Amino acid sequence: MTIGDIAAFLNRRFPRAYAESFDNTGLLCGEPEVEVKGILVAHDALESVVDEAVERGLNMIVTYHPIVFKGLKSLTGRNYVERSVMKALRKGVAIYALHTALDNHRDGVSALTARALGLTDLKVLIPQEDNLRVLVTYVPHARADALREALFAAGAGVIGNYDSCSYNVEGYGTFRPLEGAQPFVGEQGKVHREPETRVSVVFPRHLTGAVERAMREAHPYEEPAYEIYATVNRHPEIGIGTLGSLPAPLDEAAFLQQVKKVLQTPVLRHSAMRGKPVERVAVVGGSGAFAIDAARAAGADVLLTGDMKYHDFFAGEGEILLIDAGHYETERFVTGYLTRILSEKFPNFAVVESEGDTNPVYYYM
Ligand SMILES: [Zn+2]
């Protein structure tokens, strides 16, 4: 098993295609062909985390935050980012970062925090745009089943809790094979009329290559006619933030207490209480002040996030309780989750969660 194999697994599970454009995700340093000795999962790949990996005999670090976020024009060790990357390179430790590729996944940072708080009926708060594609192709009736199966096997035709979704119309196609053609049916120089099924399926954008390949391989025609187009409806399971409901309404003070306990934080900053119970809760792990309007529009009683500024607290307009529980605290379930899925998938070598706490923020009580 190589560093590249682990990177490929993570990219299949949390496609980098959905990371935000400002982000820097994926394999940040390390050679893909090197064998993996073991993985350390950490929040931030600080120099101390690289040291921990080396001490524990592990040569790959999987992190939530990318240690390299902006471009590096030189590597001289003048700041904590450069020192960490230089040490990782010297010691042969690879670093892979997920960040917004994970945020935009339905099991992302916000959903993990929402589940820890006991929220149910989880939905994506701000679905990402431009993520759904449709493929339409035309195939002889007798080959339609095999073609549909190939498309489904490539990941097309999944809508919510349903798979094998397609729409099919029977009609006929016409074509004239020209010189050099090797037609599946019909004769050179003659217009042929073939009973065909028009098959259409939806799929998420990152599967475009795989679905197109599967269609070409399963289609009997030398030159299959097909269209792939983008739709303006949004994929309901790809996007930032989570909206969920408490099993029973709580008064605002009780909810704040629960948040403190679950997120293991001694202090919360929040806007004025509304004097109404809390039931629908929006969660955005990390910095989520940008989601205040979306949370209000979704009818949330609360937005739980981190990194809120003074003026952000006004933006709730008394309609929504805004809670700043800290950037790290609202992301704290990521490393445990990644450790679990990596050790389930790769039981043959060590996958361990970092023992260090990389939160740079302290509270003086
Ligand atoms: Zn963050």
183-241 tens-digit pLDDT: 999 999 999 999 999 999 999 999 999 999 999 999 999 999 999 999 998 888 899 99
261/249 Cα distance (integer angstroms)? 18
226 alpha carbon – ligand 1 mean position (Å): 42
157 alpha carbon – ligand 1 mean position (Å): 33
Residue 358 pLDDT > 90: no
Q: Is the distance from CB of 249 to CB of 278 less than 8 angstroms? A: yes
88 alpha carbon – ligand 1 mean position (Å): 21
51 alpha carbon – ligand 1 mean position (Å): 22
Strand duo 321-324 + 278-287: pairing: unpaired
39-55: average pLDDT:
97
Q: Is the distance from CB of 257 to CB of 276 less than 8 angstroms? A: no
* Predicted local distance difference test score (pLDDT) of residue 325: 98
214 alpha carbon – ligand 1 mean position (Å): 37
Residue 106 pLDDT > 90: no
331 alpha carbon – ligand 1 mean position (Å): 7
185/267 Cα distance (integer angstroms)? 73
224 alpha carbon – ligand 1 mean position (Å): 46
Under the banding of pLDDT at 50, 70 and 90, the label for residue 113 is: very high
Sign of the CA dihedral with 110 first, then 114, 116, and 121 last: negative
Biggest alpha carbon–alpha carbon distance for the chain: 87
Count the helix, strand and coil residues of the chain and give each as a percent rounded to the nearest 5: 30, 30, 40
Under the banding of pLDDT at 50, 70 and 90, the label for residue 122 is: very high
327 alpha carbon – ligand 1 mean position (Å): 6
Which tokens hold the place of 57?
Answer: 């005999």
Q: Is the distance from CB of 132 to CB of 236 less than 8 angstroms? A: no
Residue 319 CB: number of other CB atoms within 10 A?
A: 14
124 alpha carbon – ligand 1 mean position (Å): 18
User: Which residues, in sequence order, are CB contacts of 360 under 8 Å at separation 6+?
Assistant: none
113 alpha carbon – ligand 1 mean position (Å): 13
292 alpha carbon – ligand 1 mean position (Å): 17
pLDDT, tens only, 158-187: 998 899 999 999 999 999 999 999 999 999
What backbone torsions phi and psi does residue 108 show, to the nearest 5 degrees?
A: -75, -170
97 alpha carbon – ligand 1 mean position (Å): 12
Q: Is the distance from CB of 196 to CB of 141 less than 8 angstroms? A: yes
116/293 Cα distance (integer angstroms)? 24
Which tokens hold the place of 179?
Answer: 């010189």
91 alpha carbon – ligand 1 mean position (Å): 26
Residue 365 pLDDT > 90: no
Q: Is the distance from CB of 316 to CB of 297 less than 8 angstroms? A: no
98 alpha carbon – ligand 1 mean position (Å): 11
Indicate left, alpha or beta for 192 from its phi (over 0: left) and psi (-120 to 50: alpha).
beta
Residues for the chain: how many in total? 365
* Predicted local distance difference test score (pLDDT) of residue 356: 83
End-to-end CA distance of the chain: 47
Angle (deg, nearest 10), helices 80-91 and 47-55: 20
102 alpha carbon – ligand 1 mean position (Å): 11
* Predicted local distance difference test score (pLDDT) of residue 275: 95
Domains and CATH numbers, the chain: 3-99+333-353 (3.40.1390.30), 109-127+239-331 (3.40.1390.30), 132-230 (3.30.70.120)
**Residue, of 72 and 146, whose pLDDT is higher:** 146
295 alpha carbon – ligand 1 mean position (Å): 19
In the chain, the percentage of residues whose pLDDT exceeds 90 is 93
Angle (deg, nearest 10), helices 334-345 and 109-116: 110
49 alpha carbon – ligand 1 mean position (Å): 17
206/213 Cα distance (integer angstroms)? 13
329 alpha carbon – ligand 1 mean position (Å): 10
* Predicted local distance difference test score (pLDDT) of residue 314: 95
pTM of the model: 0.88
In the chain, the percentage of residues whose pLDDT exceeds 70 is 100
337-349: average pLDDT:
95
Strand duo 94-97 + 60-63: pairing: parallel
Under the banding of pLDDT at 50, 70 and 90, the label for residue 299 is: very high
44/84 Cα distance (integer angstroms)? 10
97-119: average pLDDT:
95
Residue 71 pLDDT > 90: no
Mean pLDDT lowest among 67-71, 144-148, 262-266, 295-299: 67-71
User: Which residues, in sequence order, are CB contacts of 364 under 8 Å at separation 6+?
Assistant: none
Instruction: Identify the CA nearest to 151 among candidates 131, 130, 134.
Output: 134
309 alpha carbon – ligand 1 mean position (Å): 16
**Mean predicted lDDT score pLDDT of the chain:** 95
349-365: average pLDDT:
92
